[in-house]
Amino acid sequence: MRKIGLIAASGLLALTAACEQGTKTSGEGAPAPATPGVVTPVPLPVGPNFPVPTATINAWIDAGDTASIRGHAWSLWQAMAAPSGQKFNDQELPIWETWAGPNDVFPTNLAAVQAGTNGVSLEARLAKPRVIRNFAAPLQFHHAKGVKLGALGTFGNSDVTADNKFNPQAATFIDSPQAGPGGAKYDYSTQSGLTKLNASWPTGTTPQNRGINEFPVQAIELKPVFGTVAAKGLTVQPLWQGPGGSTNPTNPTIRTWTTCMLVSPDGTGPVRPATPAEIASVSTAGTACKTFLWTPLSTLYAVRLTAPEAKNFAAATGKTVAEGDYAVLLAMHVNTKEIPFWTWQTFWWQPGGDTPNGFPGSKQGQPTSLGGPWSNYAACTAYNQTTTPSSQTMQVCFNPYLETDPSIPAGITSNCMSCHGVAVVGNSQPYPANYNKPIAFFTDPTYFSTTVTHTDFSWAVATSP
């Protein structure tokens, strides 16, 4: 029996700057001689923590072994955060930042065409200076009709951007033509190839069998979510403190959060209450800030923006962003193909105290060796739609920086597995209207029919250009 997990991926993303400096690695060993401007994807090391045997993870799910599931999530987080030996803009990158992005994996999107990589093989694209960060408004924020960029005010989810990352195994799979109906090969990296696949199923093919081939077991997809911190002065960054820490507990968008961090780009020390002078030095227009805490930039994974990156971040959010400001990692969805329906974990910035009431997750179970800034993130997991396969209690796991958006139906009671399990090519299907009961993959007629092809939980593939 297939077990159930969670995914996150978006589609078309904006073009940013080419890499400025890098080193090239040979497989999983020591870095090879530097190739200026090239960042080579570094695979996650294979070992006892990855990939974990499917039977082992399924046993955790069956037993409701939350401790083991969370332990696995933290081991993935720690492994991805390890230094890669690659550099961009004179800053060493963690392993996950070296992975292929949308411009590499989907070479027919506008940004890739503008970069001159359309029609070039994945291997050739990765051997050149390339975009490593794509800053764009999260695709799901525009799913609901009438919701436009900037509609949420000065502060709101329009202040964040979302990227996609694909580890080498996932990127190679998407880039490689795959066998399908009639013995033909089909391209999963273009919408035209997927449309051809969707039209090629023999008459009588059941909805369950109308799907792309499954990703390899070592495949990983990510969705990093970035905000910004100014190079000078203090930057206001609202902090998730649960629905109770919002002026609108039923729809707690970022601009409704009442606790705010004042992030210092050059300070040091622990999180502490902000002083009256610090509070007076910032503008809180468009926020619901009532409680103010001070924190150094070091509590976040932060990267200094190049001029092209700053321009693209500003274009994606409507914010004023300048070269030398920082892009800061606020959140990240992480999903792995270790089990057929993927494992799902999501992380978000939680410096200082833990998530109030552990909702939707916490820092519990973090390895003591994790270290900063990575230890300043909380996590929740959803390896099944319900708390155990026999339970009727739905699993709740969402990212406060994404699923609180009004474009996401029932976001704060959601789990991403149910959402991404309905990713299809063909007639556009809605997100689940609610998360009151599990979705039957891939037979529920609300989402699956003989006019669509499901994409193995990948919205990135379903929305490929």
Per residue in 262-271, pLDDT tens? 999 999 999 9
pLDDT category of residue 140 using cuts at 50, 70 and 90: low
pLDDT averaged over the chain? 86
Distance CA 20, CA 91 (A): 10
pLDDT at residue 399 is higher than 80: yes
- The pLDDT of residue 21 is above 90: no
**pLDDT confidence tier of residue 114, bands split at 50, 70 and 90:** low
Tell me how far apart the terminal alpha carbons of the chain are, to the nearest angstrom: 33
**Range from 10-14, 290-294, 417-421 that averages highest in pLDDT:** 290-294
Residue-wise DSSP of 243-276: GGGBS-TTS--GGGB-EEEEEESS--S--EEPPH
Residue 211 has pLDDT above 90, yes or no: yes
> Is 454's pLDDT higher than 60?
yes
Q: What angle do CA 452, 416, 441 make, to 5 degrees?
A: 40
Comparing 312 with 338, the larger pLDDT belongs to 338
Q: What's the pLDDT band for 398 if we cut at 50, 70, 90?
A: very high
Tell whether the model's pLDDT for residue 238 goes beyond 90. Answer: yes
Cα 243 from Cα 252, distance rounded (Å) = 6
Please tell me the predicted confidence (pLDDT) of residue 8: 31
Q: What's the confidence (pLDDT) of residue 121?
A: 82
Rounded to whole angstroms, how far apart are CA atoms 253 and 232?
Answer: 27
CB 60 within 8 A of CB 383: yes
What local confidence, expressed as pLDDT, does residue 13 receive? 27
Distance CA 151, CA 177 (A): 40
- pLDDT tens readout for residues 314-345: 988 888 999 999 999 999 999 999 999 999 99
Q: How far apart are CA 148 and CA 137, in angstroms?
A: 10
- Which is more confident, 17 or 231? 231
* Residue 144 backbone phi and psi in degrees, to 5: -80, 140
